[in-house]
Amino acid sequence: MPISSSVQALAAAVIMSTVVSLGCAQEAPPAAGAAAYIQGVTGHGQPNEQTLEQINAAGYAAVIDLRGPEENRGLADERATVEGLGMSYIPLPIVGEGAINFDNANELDQLLAQFDKPVFVHCGSGNRAGALLALRAKLNGADDETAVEAGRETGLAGLEDVVRQRLLDR
């Protein structure tokens, strides 16, 4: 089903308000709250070309794409669009619940550490982005509830039970 232009405009406004409020990525002390663990990172669903232009204008350095190679991106060539705007495009395919794990969260953390400007991390809906960012928060010292909250703030929804199980198993 096509998304109406008013819904797209609203989504773009929400993204921009988030983008403007973010600083650069950094490791936070455990008592700093969820926002400190996701500073400089925006987790989101699939962006359109307008969203990519907006995050570029806001000073983002990179787009990390968590979608699998077979997933529809709604763009003719996301890599070319991102790189054409002057940002780095990094694919990190996260396919299936089994890929929501600390190894992939660590890989995401290492990728994020390469940039001193904000980074946009996306999947199809934001759910996988939020899930990996929750596990990343735990790797960086967050307690379990703070990690889950960091995930929720970056798109975690339907995978929350998976994240909570990974946290219990750790």
- What the chain holds in terms of domains, given with CATH numbers, is 5-169 (3.90.190.10)
Query: pLDDT at residue 34 above 70?
Result: yes
pLDDT value of residue 36: 81
- Of 18, 53, 28, the C-alpha closest to 126 is 18
Query: pLDDT at residue 164 above 90?
Result: yes
User: Global pTM?
Assistant: 0.81
pLDDT band at 27 (very low <50, low <70, confident <90, very high): very low
How high does pLDDT run on average in the chain?
A: 85
Amino acid found at 30: P
What is the torsional sign of CA 165, 99, 43, 74?
A: negative
pLDDT value of residue 77: 92
What is the torsional sign of CA 93, 70, 65, 45?
A: negative
| Higher per-residue pLDDT: 50 or 2 | 50
Which of 2-6, 21-25, 59-63 is predicted with the least confidence, judged by mean pLDDT? 21-25
Which tens digit of pLDDT belongs to each residue from 88-136? 999 999 999 999 999 999 999 999 999 999 999 999 999 999 999 999 9
CB 58 within 8 A of CB 118: yes
Query: pLDDT at residue 85 above 90?
Result: yes
Backbone torsions φ then ψ of 85, nearest 5 degrees: -85, -5
CA distance 109 to 142: 14
For 11, half-sphere exposure in the C-beta direction (CA atoms, 13 angstrom radius) is 17
pLDDT band at 32 (very low <50, low <70, confident <90, very high): low
Q: Which two tokens stand for residue 166?
A: 């990974």
